[in-house]
A and B are shown apart, each in its own frame.
Chain A
Amino acid sequence: MLSLIKSLWLVFLHLFRKRFTIQYPEEKAYLAPRYRGRIILSRDPDGGERCVACYLCAAACPVECIALDATEDENGRRYPDFFRINFSRCIYCGYCEEACPTYAIQLVPDFEMAEYNRQNMVYEKEDLLIDGEGKYHGYNYYKVAGIAIGGKDKGEGENESSPIDPKDLMP
């Protein structure tokens, strides 16, 4: 009898506590920036596509829902010809983001991906590529890589000396 009253009292006290339930969807929940939701492809500070089509995210994906194919522009810059994520399979584990050497692929705080038709869960590059740098600012992979691309010749990367002359024998 006493315990019953005690329980009722406790429930009653909750009336005066701060409310956790929010009026979703009118009201949005706060999601931390590192929240693992919908996946995007970002751009480098110069506006170029960050993804270099290295296939590492696809290899890291435990449900194998990422498929892409590499291609190159006329100056040797590699990028994905197509880039597809089947979100109906994605488990939002974030392994792709962890594997990505260029910060191109990022999970963002958005989980609102419900669809009536499963086919609509298949995202192509047009659907994934955003116009900004996403969570990671300032990084430009091609600036630290050794290959030359349009606008960056050999020796112009970060921490590189200018190309040597192979016909020179000086010490």
Chain B
Amino acid sequence: MATITIDGQSYEADPSANLLQAALTLGFDLPYFCWHPALGSVGACRQCAVRQYRDEEDTTGQIVMACMVPVADGLRCSIVEPEAAEFRAEVIEWLMSNHPHDCPVCDEGGECHLQDMTVMTGHCKRRFRFPKRTFRNQYLGPFINHEMNRCIQCYRCVRFYGDYAGGSDLVAMAAHNHVYFGRHEEGILENEFSGNLVEICPTGVFTDKTLKHHYSRKWDMVSSPSVCSHCAVGCNTIASTRYGSVRRILNRYHHDINGYFLCDRGRFGYTFTDAADRLRRPLLHPDRERDVETVAEPAEAMKRIREIFSEATGVAGIGSPRASLESNYALRNLVGSGRFSSGLPRIEHDATTALLEAMRNAPDGPGSLRDAERADAVLILGEDPNNTAPRLALALRQSVRNEPIRADAGSRIPRWHDRAIRDFVQDRKGPLFIAWPASTRLDDLAAGTHRAAPDEIARLGFAVAHAIDPQSPAVTDLDDSASDLASRIARALKEADRPMVVSGTALRSPAIIAAAAATVHALRRTGSGGSSFLAVAPEANTIGDAMLEGAPLETLEQQLESGEVDTLVILENDIYRRLPAPATDRIISKARRIIALDSIATATTNRADVVLPAGSFAESDGTFVNHEGRAQRFFQPLPPAGDVLEAWRWIGRIAAETGTSKQNEWDRLDRVLTALARDCPELAPARDAAPDAAFRANGQRFPRAPRRFSGRTSILSHLSVHEPKPPEDSDSPLSFTMEGHSGQPPAALVSHYWSPGWNSSQALNKFQSEVAGPARGGDPGARLIPGNGPNERPSTAIPAPVPDDDQTLLAVPCYEVFGSDELSARAPAVAERIPKPYVALAPTDAEHHGLDSGDSLNLLIGELRVSAPVRLDPKLPPGLCGIPAGMPGWSVPHLPARASVVT
């Protein structure tokens, strides 16, 4: 720690920070624009001026930009010094000279960093009398609205979009006071992290277009801490609502996971909660084969369920990787663990089980996104992060800079000195190797790629393990290029300080996961202490579901066949997406009765006898276990309306109704969590993912509504002028109103970032223990998989080489960031970005079958016929074809599989 003096007072500050960072950490309100904790400093906006003095004698000093001054022992400066303060006010005045008179219609208003900084510097009167410069806006796609007049030329957007996220279609154009930030041509912003511009841009140039369609001010939105439900990364979010509907998703800082950024799937996928196909009332299907449905009262539905249960010979439950841990556990408890299915087909189930095993065996437990960001050599085995775990791809993009920076230990450029570091690193990239059948959007960073069939990818992984540590078994018959690559990868990983292997279930190959684990263990054995294993899973609660150890769907099919079971309870799972339609039809028709719980209408709920409306993330409290085995609680921003209930609560009511549990035994989140902790010791820490419902600060709850929340005596007055009692929350320490504790809640309960003078999301600085550090009081969530597991060598069944086969193609799943996730695909903005169905084919194969790009290709995969236009991928090796997984209305489950071309 260094001792610095600000305005005559001495403070301790971190010498690796800059003065602006240090001042903000110490609680000073110093204005800034171009500096961003994740992007570093460039000293462009001249807003953070302070006066720096050489020593105690120096009374003149000089004005410097705080963001460009490294903290050093003995540093003396003044923030309040009049000339520095006037300098800051004048900078704002210049910026404002062309600023439009837009605040009332600007979506940034009320949470605008420019407004905050203007108030902070005291500028209040416009002296500039000349005409204002104007710009035309561009159409930037369904996610982002563009209003260029409001730009203050801080360059944050292009620094994030280009330098940080690797996008190439947002640039600065023109010169002097005409500088324009946009695309060369109007069109959709391609990068899947474009949504972060909303929070990066300190003004209203880039705003959330989905919010614009149902705009509400920050001060009016009832929000809660939530967790993204669109992939297993589990980014922390703030879900904000007004008038009973979700209006937007904002980033909620988590030091080890998402940091400051989300992906567009997570940010804009929320509108599925309001889609027309949401289930809001219980439904009865008197005849499953015919399309007749009647809306029922909950009591009526419950009566029907009691009848079904009393007639049943055996009830089995199908869980779901997208349902919360509590719901899955409640279901398992209802039907008994022998009749509980994870809801995955065997092919996915086995890969997931292998992944969980590898996570438990990983030396330090599974790695986090922060570990990925800090890794200096990375091997990706069988994953396509941009599409399967988008936020991870952004972290990996940062990792390639670590090796060049480290390699030149002599350079003393601080990490926050962004421009200097980038100039210093230039185009040098650290080692990142990608093994995936097709091209990926990280290829531009890769030091080497291996495009091959899943088994070949596993073989490469085992070869790397062998090259690192000869004790690992050797791979026979590896071709030269693959073995060359394996030794290059091994060398890079061995030389690194923090090597990382990323692997997961994307290709549904336990062998790939075993190979990744073997590599990590080989590194450990040869003394690479910092090595880590990063697991990638597809859905928000895949890992939590797997930890409940249900059986694959096929086992259930056998139970149905044997007559041991004749009734199914299906929890938030569309099994038509998991198994080929004929196989699903068999399961459905063999079940005499089906009870389905879901938040959305699916092919499966359409064939259930009774459908109960379950809450989405917006109407539920629950826990997801993310890809690193971290249990994270999400809280509902909305009080449940109509008949919608959390799935676990419905199941609790079924249990009470059918006499398997006492009345109300399961009617509280904490009770479910307590029972879970008792039954599954490994999952017990999930209880501590957030404070329980009885938690209070000074006897007070934590408000979901901001203190300036408006309209509480008129929102419902058209229905009745007598104001109803505000809804109560029995499951969390949050209240639905603005009443309650006015200080900062623990990080797991943060519903909005706000601090006096800081209305924008930059108020986050005040919620961190130090700027860009962990949250005050620790980051939320509870790690369930501590690592230090048995350090034995994982099983090493090395697959045989994939034989040449002229007759068939090997169909492998590939993924789309917009489309492969079931829930977000139902959000209109995301749906606009979903590609049309396609089958990716190598040009040589296409030629062989006489096909060209766009021609229709007919495939027979098992009993399933698939037909889609050809998309040529020159990177795809011959003999393979890629079929996007889980596309709405067009899902081809059960891959990889052999496919024959039919005409």
* A positions within 8 Å CB-CB of B: 52-56, 58-59, 61, 63-72, 78, 84-86, 88-89, 101-102, 118-119, 121-122, 124, 141, 144-148, 154-155, 157, 159-169, 171
- Known: A145-B101, A147-B102. Contact between A164 and B134, CB under 8 A? yes
Chain A residues positioned under 8 Å from B711 (CB to CB): 58, 64-68
**In the complex, which of the residues B135, B147, B178, B708 contacts A168, with contact meaning CB atoms closer than 8 Å?**
B178
Q: Which of B212-220, B528-536, B782-790 contacts A (4 or more CB under 8 A)?
A: B212-220
Question: How far apart are A162's CB and chain B's nearest CB, in angstroms?
Answer: 7
The answer to whether B708 and A86 touch across the interface, beta carbons within 8 angstroms, is no
Inter-chain CA distance A168–B178, complex, in Å, is 9
5 closest Cβ pairs, A-B complex? A146-B100, A67-B711, A166-B180, A54-B104, A58-B710
Complex Cα spacing A162 to B178, Å: 12
Q: Which one of B507-515, B717-725, B870-878 contacts A?
A: B717-725
Distance to closest chain B CB from A138 (angstroms)? 16
Binding site for A on B (CB under 8 A): 100-105, 109-110, 130-137, 147, 149-150, 173-176, 178, 180, 182, 212-217, 219-220, 242-243, 708-715, 717-718, 720-722
Q: For residue A124, which residue of chain B has the nearest CB?
A: B718
The smallest beta-carbon distance between A54 and chain B, in angstroms, is 4
A-chain residues with CB within 8 Å of residue B708 when the two chains form the complex: 59
Bound together, the chains give a CA A78 to CA B717 distance in angstroms of 24
Give the chain A neighbours of B721 by CB distance below 8 A: 86, 88, 118-119, 121-122
Cβ contact of A119, chosen from B176, B243, B720, cutoff 8 A: B720
Say yes or no: A160-B132 contact (C-beta < 8 A), given A56-B104, A88-B721, A145-B100.
Answer: yes
A-B contact pairs, 26 of them (CB 8 A): A53-B215, A55-B216, A55-B219, A55-B220, A64-B713, A65-B711, A66-B710, A66-B714, A70-B215, A72-B212, A84-B714, A86-B721, A141-B104, A146-B102, A146-B150, A147-B147, A154-B134, A154-B137, A154-B149, A155-B134, A159-B131, A162-B134, A164-B135, A164-B174, A164-B180, A166-B173
Nearest CB of chain A from residue B844's CB, rounded to whole Å: 41
Please state if B714 and A65 are interface contacts (CB–CB under 8 Å): yes
Known: A141-B104, A164-B174, A164-B178. A55 touches B217 (CB 8 A): yes
Given contacts A86-B721, A161-B134, contact A54 B105 (CB under 8 A): yes
List of A residues within 8 angstroms of B714 by Cβ: 64-67, 84-86, 89, 122
| Residues A147 and B717 in contact, CB atoms below 8 Å apart | no
Residues of A within 8 A of B718 (CB): 84, 122, 124
Interface centre among A72, A86, A121, A169, by most B CB within 10 Å? A86
Tell me the smallest distance from the CB of B768 to a CB of chain A, in Å. Answer: 28
Contact B173 A58 (CB under 8 A): no
List residues of chain A with CB within 8 A of the CB of B713: 63-65, 86, 89
Contact check, A78 vs B175: say whether CB atoms are below 8 A apart.
Answer: no
A168 to B135, CA, bound (A): 13
- Name the residue in B134, B149, B212, B720 with the highest tally of chain A Cβ atoms < 10 Å from its Cβ: B134
Decide yes or no: A64 and B105 within 8 Å by CB, A55-B220, A72-B212, A166-B174 being known contacts. Answer: no
| Nearest A residue (CB) for B182 | A166
List, in ascending order, chain A residues with CB within 8 A of B175's CB: 169, 171
Verify A171–B173 contact, CB threshold 8 A: no
Pairwise interchain contact B174-A69, C-beta atoms closer than 8 A: no
Q: How far is the CB of B396 from chain A (nearest CB, A)?
A: 33
Which chain A residues border B136 with CB–CB below 8 Å? 154, 163
Q: Are B216 and A84 in contact (CB under 8 A)?
A: no
How far does the alpha carbon of A135 sit from the alpha carbon of B135 in the complex, in Å?
34
Whether B174 pairs with A78 at a CB distance below 8 angstroms is no
Q: Decide: B134 and A145 in contact? CB cutoff 8 A.
A: no
A71 to B243, CA, bound (A): 14
B131 and A78 contacting across the interface, CB-CB below 8 Å: no
Min C-beta distance of A80 to chain B, whole Å: 11
Q: A146-B132, A146-B134, A166-B173 are in contact. Are A84 and B100 (CB under 8 A)?
A: no
Do B180 and A59 touch across chains, with their CB atoms under 8 A apart? no
- Let me know if B220 and A164 touch, CB within 8 A: no
A161 to B131, CA, bound (A): 6
**Interchain CA distance A102-B103 in the complex, whole Å:** 11
Asked if A168 meets B174 with Cβ closer than 8 Å, knowing A59-B710, A86-B714, A154-B136, the reply is yes
Residue pair B109, A54 in contact (C-beta under 8 Å): yes
Query: Whole-angstrom distance between the alpha carbons of A65 and B714 in the complex?
Result: 5
Contact A61 B134, CB 8 Å, known A55-B217, A122-B718, A146-B102:
no
In whole angstroms, what is the CA distance A118 to B134 when docked? 50
Pairwise interchain contact B710-A167, C-beta atoms closer than 8 A: no
Besides A64-B714, A145-B100, A164-B180, 19 more A-B contacts (Cβ < 8 Å) are A52-B105, A53-B215, A58-B710, A59-B710, A64-B711, A66-B710, A66-B714, A69-B214, A72-B212, A122-B714, A122-B721, A144-B101, A145-B101, A146-B132, A146-B134, A159-B131, A159-B132, A163-B134, A168-B174
Give Cα A59 to B110, complex, Å. Answer: 10
In the complex, which residues of chain B have a beta carbon less than 8 angstroms from the beta carbon of A65? 711, 713-714, 717
Please give, as numbers and ranges, the residues of chain B lying within 8 Å of A157 by CB-CB distance.
134
The answer to whether B173 and A64 have CB atoms under 8 Å apart is no
Residues on the B chain within 8 Å of A159, using CB: 130-132
Shortest CB-to-CB span from B174 to chain A, Å, is 5
- In the complex, the chain B residue whose C-beta lies closest to that of A117 is B721
A162 to B815, CA, bound (A): 45
Q: Please, which residues of chain A bring their CB within 8 A of the CB of B720? A: 119
Residues of B within 8 A of A121 (CB): 721
Distance (Å) between the CB of A171 and the closest chain B CB? Answer: 7
User: Do residues B173 and A102 form an inter-chain contact, with CB atoms below 8 A?
Assistant: no
A54-B110 Cα distance, complex, nearest whole Å? 10
Contact in complex: A61, B710 (CB < 8 Å): yes
* Interfacial chain B residues near A118, Cβ < 8 Å: 721-722
